[in-house]
């Protein structure tokens, strides 16, 4: 692709490259290039029009915000007035078990169940027996 750009953008190289073409072929190439150029202008105009519409929308929103005395911070917080919630506090443990080695293991009841609880359940106990009172 770079090679064709070098040829097309340099007058002498282009003249040398198209030397063997007749007038009809050159006219055909010219028509195709004119179509490509026209399409490119249309694309540029469309992007320019879209950008102008977007800027007009932004100005309209700014005007509404100014008239209603709404700040950007209020807008980001939403109607409730509460911003994004921070990290919630950890849940207190709901279940507790004492291992044979004397280690105290607690579990909130969420997430993976610790193996010591699984072992006790397999032996016939219920989770109610391990509830922290």
- Does 77 lie in the same domain as 30? yes
- Does 102 lie in the same domain as 78? no
Which of 76, 77, 123, 75 lies closest to 97, judged by CA? 123
How many whole angstroms separate alpha carbon 53 and alpha carbon 57?
6
Residue 3 lies in a domain: no
Residue 8 lies in a domain: no
Residue 5 lies in a domain: no
Residue 118: domain span: 95-130
Q: Is 104 left (phi over 0), alpha (psi -120 to 50) or beta?
A: beta
- Does 35 lie in the same domain as 78? yes
- Does 34 lie in the same domain as 59? yes
Number of domains in the chain: 2
Mean pLDDT of 105-130: 92
Please give the share of the chain, as a percent, with pLDDT higher than 90.
66
- Does 99 lie in the same domain as 79? no
Q: What pLDDT does residue 84 have?
A: 61
Q: What pLDDT does residue 78 have?
A: 65
- Does 46 lie in the same domain as 71? yes
Q: What pLDDT does residue 92 have?
A: 93
Q: Average pLDDT over the chain, rounded to whole? A: 90
Grade residue 108 by pLDDT with cuts at 50, 70 and 90. very high
User: How many residues are listed for the chain in this entry?
Assistant: 133
pLDDT digits (tens, 9 = 90+) for 25-71: 999 999 999 999 999 999 999 999 999 999 999 999 999 999 988 88
- Does 71 lie in the same domain as 39? yes
CB-neighbour burial class of residue 18 (10 A; exposed 0-12, middle 13-18, buried 19+): middle
Grade residue 89 by pLDDT with cuts at 50, 70 and 90. confident
Grade residue 79 by pLDDT with cuts at 50, 70 and 90. low
Q: What pLDDT does residue 82 have?
A: 62
């Amino acid at each position: 692709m770079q090679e064709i750009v070098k040829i097309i953008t340099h007058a002498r190289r282009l003249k040398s490259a198209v030397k063997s073409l007749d007038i009809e072929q050159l006219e055909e190439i010219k028509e195709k290039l004119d179509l490509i150029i026209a399409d490119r202008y249309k694309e540029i105009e469309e992007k320019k029009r879209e950008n102008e519409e977007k800027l007009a929308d932004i100005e309209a929103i700014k005007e509404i915000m100014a008239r209603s005395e709404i700040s950007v911070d209020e807008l980001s917080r939403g109607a409730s007035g509460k911003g994004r919630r921070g990290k919630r506090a950890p849940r207190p443990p709901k279940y507790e078990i004492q291992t044979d080695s004397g280690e105290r293991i607690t579990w909130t009841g969420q997430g993976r169940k610790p193996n010591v609880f699984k072992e006790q359940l397999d032996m016939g106990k219920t989770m109610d027996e391990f509830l922290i009172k």
